[in-house]
Structure formats: C-alpha cells, structure tokens
Chain A
C-alpha cells in the first residue's frame, strides 16, 4: 500500500510542461506509473500516439527516464530489443544496474495495430511491463473508433448517424487475451484509484516475466467531457463496473475494487458527448440497455473467475 506522503517525495520522472490537453487522463496515468518507480531504474519505450506527441516534440522532452519511440505498432517489439540488449549486457558483465522496462501504448497501439508484437513479446517472455493507456479510441488521429471503443459510442469512424447510432460492437476483452498468454502479472485500473494503480505498477515490475496493466484514461476531447471531470468519470467507470478493477496473478483473479454501491451505468455515460445521442430516442435507450446487460454479465463473470481456482 503506497502512501501519498512517501510518493510525493519521489522525483517527477514525467515533468510538467508537456503538451497534453487540459484534463488528459493519459498524462495522469504516465505520471502515476512513473511515481511508482524508483529513479535510475526504468527505461521507457513508446509507440506513436498521443503520449509520444505531447511528451516528445523536439527539442523538448518531458521524460526524465531514457525513452525510445519507433513506430505505431512497435512498442512491444522495440521493448523486446531493448530488454534483449540489457540481458546481453548483464550476461557479459557489462552492466551492473538492475533495470526495469516499461512500454506505454494507447489502445490503438495495443488492442489493434500493435497487438501482434505484444503477443509475440509475451510469448517469448521478455521481462517488461506493458502499460496500455486506454482512452477507447484513436484519439491522436482525431477520435476514430478502436477495438476498445464501447458499444454505441460516437467516434469519427463510427459516427452517430441517422441510421447507425455509433459503434455497433462491444469492446475487445484485451485482458482475457493477455491472460491467455500466461503473463507474470496482469491488472486493470484507472487514474482515479491512484493507490490501486501504484500498487499494481509495483507488483508488475516485481513480477518475473511479461506483465500488463490496462489503465482507463478519460479523454476530454474524445469523450466530450469537461477537463475537470476526468477523475470523476474515471471513478464513475469503476463505480458503475463499466471498468472492473482487478488483477490476475499466479493463475488467480482478484477484484481489487468492489464498489460499495454499484451505480447505474447512465451516470458514467450521461456526462459524455460520445454517448449523448443515446439519450435522445428509443433506439439509443436500447443501446444503453444492452450496455447494462453486458456490464452486468461481465461483472458477474469476473466474480465467478475470482471464485474459481484458475491455475495455469
């Protein structure tokens, strides 16, 4: 259990002055992840995406850790190369430090175009933490749908049209796909739950093998909410069970945040522009109802998984 009193003594490894939008959940996630790591221990890898653009426009850099960016779909494969270089150095006695590696990818670079590289790197057991900062769309390119975009959401490639009201499929369950790779540690969290997040980063970095952290990061521009609502929405996502907070370790699931009172999903959806069209007519209400059904089913399933003894 991290204490704010201790965390605030850590140096800021992701410095202020970067170019993220006001209220950006992704920038908060990166900052929180790095607050959980000791200085001079971590090397970062990132794909092309929002984070890369707002943190690294030459000649500026917000990174106080070594950081490499290559292409959109290559965070995991570049990380594999960096981690292999480290193993080579260690083996040859050329490096004494114990280093950790963290790749930061958005949902586009993780669920979609970069997935093959992640799957490959996890199968090969490269020891690094892959952090997905999931804002449920290709926000960097102008709010297009990704396979993380929830059912019914408006994006520029799944627009709320006269006939088709937003995205017509549920999101991809990336956690289950990652868990099928038998990771050393995998967890899902969000930026409102900083303590949960920090604890999970520390567990993931200590794990002996590939680890994965999926962080829900509200995007004011893409979701259409005021910048000062980011943390509130992030908390509502957890409280409505839209975004279950749990971890997977040693073959077992554990829900690490159980809302005292499960709130209706409308409370999470209503303040967001991307769902606004759903509150206008019967067709939209049916989509909200389907979202509810899906969320309830997933939440119940997660409880069953937690109860089951799942040893890989």
Chain B
C-alpha cells in the first residue's frame, strides 16, 4: 500500500506491524511522535503490546531490559539527550545480548541545547554493543526497522535504527508499506534461549564478575558482533526476496570509474546524489559510497570498496572533539591504514545541529576530493 508518512509516522507504523510484546518509552524530540502514535495504536486495540509510559529514558531502557530478559519482543524509541541518559543501560542491554530494537530520530547533544538533526547521539553510543543502522529515506527507515527486529534476534544483539531528526522524522514521504500479516509472518515468533519467567528453571541474569570472567564475557559479546555482519546480509537478502526491496550494508552510487568519492551516512546521501549527478554532467569522475550499517562496521567490504579510489572524502555529521576528524573519519582511515595503496582521505564535518547541507555544499566537497586537496586538516562545511 502506498502511504504518505513522515519518518516518525512510518516508524510507528512499522512498530504497529511488528506488534512488539512490550514497549517502554519516554518522549523526546524529535522522536516523540513515534511512541505517541504507537500509544494510540495500543489504546485503539490495534496491537497486542503492553505499553509502559515510564518516567525517564533511563527507566525506559531498564524496563526494556527487564522485559527482554523475560523473552518478550521489546522496543522503545528515543533521541539525543534521551539516548545519552540511556547510555549506561545501553551497555547492559548489549552485555546481556538482548535483542531490543530502538528507532531513533538522530539529534545533536547539549550544550548548547539544539533539537535538530545530526548524528552526535548515536555515534556517542557506538561502543555500547548495539548494532546501528543509518537510513537515507523514510522508506529505508520503515524497511530497516522491520529488518532490525529479525537481525537483532538472530544475532542476539540490540539494534538502533537511526533516521535524521526533523530531516526525516518530520519529512513527509511517499512510502510503500506492506500488509500487517505479511510483516508479522515474516518476523515470526522470537524464541529466546533463556527466559527469566521460566520459574521452574531459575536463572541469574546480570551477575557480578571478577577479573577471572569479565573479559571472557566481553570477548564472547565481541564475537557476537563479529558474527552479526553475515546475519545482517542474510536478513537483508531474505527481506528483498520477500518484499522486493533490497539494501546492501554499503551502497555505491556512480562509482564505477570514479576517482574521488564521498563516504557518508543518513539523509545527506540524498543530497549528495544531486551533487554527484551535477558533477557527472560536467564529466567529472565522482561518486558516493553510502554506509548503511555502522555497527557491525562492515570493514572488509568497506576496505575493499574504498581501496580503488584516489581520494575518499569522509563526512561526519558529528564531531569527536579531537581536532582530527569525526568518528567515521577516524575509524575508516584506520581501517585503510594497512592497504598497500591507500586512497587519500579527507575529513569533513557537516550539518551539526541541523545546519543545512545543500547540493552546492556537496559539490564543494566533491570538487576538493577530485583535486585531492583540502584547506585544513578537518573542513567544517558551511560554518559561518
């Protein structure tokens, strides 16, 4: 069915179709509408879910952990300060290997207070053991949220599905949705390996560990993330077979003969397509590599893909405040390090706090990349 939906509406609609067992959430801009709309579905009897309107994001994630430990398919939604408040609990969900799924409308972090879109929140959570998917469009957000449930359950890892705050969360788009039943049948039931409510077989969830076991637990969690990439690919392929729309963990645009490319994530990929097209019309050999899956970082795929270009401009919608480049830049350049022939890497930070990123900005970046030259160690695009 073709629907006109904003990002938030589409994500809430996907949640309705997923019909999770438990949702515990606290409202925060720009993701508020997701749970607001979902609460409407609950109160109209359109889902079976138990919805808990908790008193903070910290409690939201704690309640989700409690519910998921009981084997319930569990979801929440948040953004920005809310995700930051959850930070401690994100690690616990990751460490307990609970497949909680959380759409976020990515937003900047205070201070100064700013409610608009960038990737500071999700990238600040990158080491918490959550998978992270960045979406270019509302359609992709809708599709990815459905996929994420299956991926999370197969990988025993929690998952964030990020759409850019306001740019996608509040942007009306034409989306192709599926039937409720088709989504529910495809997802099937989650059968966890253990369940806290299995009263006849008591288990202890979340013990303390000393120096003798902590590292072993963490090592097995890391192994879980290492094994997640093939699961992501397998589920994406299965989704494509079932619903006719496919995604890669990375996606290339006009890169066949490109000399210089930009690597980036999220809604700016749409803008960058315009910029690539404009320069292609002038015969310039530029392209784009879109990174859809940030965790697990598809490093073998990314490395192989980027090795063949002369220059890669790596664009972050967040800064690591290290005077050297954003989180994506530092990660990608380090994975390129041991290539015998490395592309030149340029660092760009753009669009913080919802600062507009235009096709002209994109053209500027691409032209610099093609020239293989930059003005500074890190270029801050569009800052006055």
Contacts and interface: CB of A to CB of B under 8 A. Distances in A.
A43 to B, nearest CB: 6
B67 interface: yes
Contact of B92 (A70, A76, A89): A70
A117 B67 contact: no
Nearest to B48: A92
Interface string A63-82: 11111111101101111111
A86 B50 CA distance: 10
B77 interface: no
B66 A81 contact: yes
Interface residues of A, number: 48
Interface stretch (A50-58, A194-202, A290-298): A50-58
Contacts of A116: 55-56, 59
A88 B21 contact: yes
Given A41-B199, A68-B66, A80 B209 contact: no
Contacts of A74: 58-59, 62, 65, 89
A73 B65 CA distance: 14
B208 interface: yes
Interface in A90-137: 91-92, 95, 97, 99, 116-117, 119-121, 123-124
Nearest to A66: B202
A120 B205 contact: no
Contact of B207 (A43, A69, A95): A69
B21 A58 contact: no
Contacts of A66: 196-199, 202-205
Contact of B213 (A58, A69, A79, A84): A58
B202 A64 contact: yes
Given A68-B196, A70-B89, A116-B56, A63 B208 contact: no
B52 interface: yes
B59 A117 contact: yes
B302 to A, nearest CB: 34
A297 B92 CA distance: 45
A87 interface: yes
A120 B197 contact: no
A17 interface: no
A119 B55 contact: yes
Contacts of A58: 207-210, 213, 217
B24 interface: yes
A113 to B, nearest CB: 10
Contacts of B48: 88, 91-92
Given A56-B207, A58-B209, A84 B52 contact: yes
A53 B206 CA distance: 11
Interface in A230-254: none
A301 interface: no
A128 B5 CA distance: 40
A59 B207 CA distance: 8
Contacts of B207: 56-58, 61, 69
Contacts of B202: 63-67
Interface of A: 40-41, 43, 45, 52-53, 56-59, 61, 63-71, 73-74, 76-89, 91-92, 95, 97, 99, 116-117, 119-121, 123-124
22 contacts: A43-B197, A57-B208, A57-B210, A63-B204, A66-B202, A66-B203, A68-B69, A70-B92, A74-B59, A74-B89, A76-B59, A78-B66, A84-B22, A85-B50, A85-B67, A85-B69, A85-B197, A88-B50, A99-B197, A116-B59, A117-B62, A120-B54
Given A57-B207, A77-B66, 4 more contacts: A53-B208, A59-B213, A66-B198, A78-B65
